[in-house]
A and B are shown apart, each in its own frame.
Chain A
Amino acid sequence: KAGVTQTPRYLIKTRGQQVTLSCSPISGHRSVSWYQQTPGQGLQFLFEYFSETQRNKGNFPGRFSGRQFSNSRSEMNVSTLELGDSALYLCASSWGTDKSETQYFGPGTRLLVL
Chain B
Amino acid sequence: SQQGEEDPQALSIQEGENATMNCSYKTSINNLQWYRQNSGRGLVHLILIRSNEREKHSGRLRVTLDTSKKSSSLLITASRAADTASYFCATDSRWDTGNQFYFGTGTSLTVIP
Contact = CB atoms under 8 A, between A and B. Distances in A.
Interface of A is mostly: strand
A55 B43 contact: no
Given A43-B88, A100-B30, A102-B33, A55 B99 contact: yes
Nearest to A39: B40
Interface stretch (B17-25, B59-67, B76-84, B102-110): B102-110
B99 A94 contact: yes
Contact of A56 (B31, B35, B100, B106): B100
A90 B102 CA distance: 14
A55 B48 contact: no
B58 to A, nearest CB: 12
Contacts of A103: 33, 45, 99, 101
B103 A42 contact: yes
B103 A56 contact: no
Contacts of A42: 3, 103-106
Interface string A96-114: 0111111111111010000
Interface of B: 3, 30-31, 33, 35, 40-45, 48, 50, 88, 90, 92, 96-106
Interface of A: 4, 31, 33, 35, 37, 42-45, 48, 50, 55-56, 58, 88, 90, 92, 94, 97-108, 110
